[in-house]
Copies of this chain bind each other. A is one copy, B any other.
């Protein structure tokens, strides 16, 4: 789906510098009930996704953010509260606000805990995560730390054999430093497709592969609208993906004290789209656990994978699109850009 960037003719596109998009998005968030501090964080996050080609979590999401804010379901002005729960554990109550400001508030404590003990477990609850996970992890990998994150969503994924959705798309992400180059990162939904990509497919009237989801009767379907309209996505990779999805629910919701995906109830808030659940992060200092050349060892591994003939590594496309956007600007459909300017006005 992210390739639709390529499909648009160049005359429909405007090339927008990262900082210009960031400023525009910050203004939009600020004008729609988000505090200045939180607006800056969300804008940087959303512009980064658009820049890196994570289009399902870029400006495509703005309508959902604003709709949720307008409904009163999420508090754009929330000030997260940190709780010290021991030398390696940090709890954060996001106070029904967005997850990214909650994580940002915890960063100094995380770095302090990792430095003191080698590991930090970050348990965020009452948080709305409506973006990709990799932007949460990249700053840690750039500091030569290893990081793992999981987040729950709203119920839209049925366990294998089940006919009702229980899990969120429950992404899992990982980041590690690599000697002399960008961190390695991956970030994927434990569902067969992310909600963002499913909605992009529905909007494009495209079909999806069989196995992506079931319709409202529990039958497998290739129609994204049928999955969205009373059906459910399925986990990727059969019972193994389903086990991972279950792990994400346990780690990001039971462990943190947040709601499970199946407990999120938007019904009193028409227009609400952002799930109020939980997020967990594990941040590790690799040099405390292993040898003194961790990042060099990861480079050795990645070189071996490439030499085996593997087409690409998890982060390759993201960094390529980032480099292009940093050089030429972020290509944005001109009608979409006009809509953003209206929202900022």
Interface residues of A (CB under 8 A from B): 85-89, 91, 116-121, 123, 125, 146, 158-166, 174, 176, 184, 186, 188, 190, 218, 236-243, 246-247, 249-251, 253-257, 260, 262, 280, 282, 284-286, 288-291, 294, 297-298, 300-301, 304-305, 307-314
Chain B residue nearest to A190 (CB atoms) is: B240
Minimum C-beta distance from A76 to chain B (A): 25
Determine if B88 and A310 form an interchain contact, defined as CB atoms under 8 angstroms apart. Answer: no
Beta-carbon contact of B161 and A254 below 8 Å:
no
Given contact pairs A146-B250, A176-B250, A290-B125, A308 touches B158 in the complex (Cβ within 8 A): yes
- The listed residue (B87, B239, B260, B285) touching A118 by CB distance below 8 A is B87
Chain B residue nearest to A165 in the complex (CB): B308
The residue that A289 contacts in the complex, of B123, B174, B176, B284, with Cβ under 8 A, is B123
Query: Are B289 and A85 in contact (CB-based, < 8 A)?
Result: yes
Closest 5 CB pairs of A and B: A237-B237, A161-B311, A162-B308, A89-B118, A159-B310
In the bound complex, residues from chain B placing their C-beta under 8 Å from that of A307 are: 164
Central interface residue in A118, A158, A309, by most chain B CB within 10 Å: A118
Chain B nearest Cβ from A227, distance in angstroms: 16
Residues of B with C-beta under 8 A to A237: 236-238, 240-241
Q: Are B243 and A186 in contact (CB under 8 A)?
A: yes
Q: Does A288 contact B146, Cβ atoms closer than 8 Å?
A: no
Closest to A251 in B: B146
In the bound complex, how far is the Cα of B174 from the Cα of A291, in angstroms?
Answer: 26
- Smallest Cβ-Cβ distance to A176: which chain B residue: B250
Asked if B119 and A121 sit within 8 Å, CB to CB, the answer is yes
The residue in chain B whose Cβ has the minimal distance to the Cβ of A312 is B161
- Our pick among B174, B262, B282, B294 for the contact of A282 (Cβ within 8 Å) is B282
Interface CB pairs A-B, < 8 A, 26? A87-B87, A87-B117, A89-B117, A89-B119, A91-B289, A91-B290, A119-B282, A123-B289, A146-B255, A158-B309, A159-B310, A161-B309, A162-B305, A162-B308, A162-B310, A163-B309, A164-B307, A174-B247, A184-B250, A218-B309, A236-B240, A240-B241, A246-B305, A249-B301, A254-B298, A262-B301
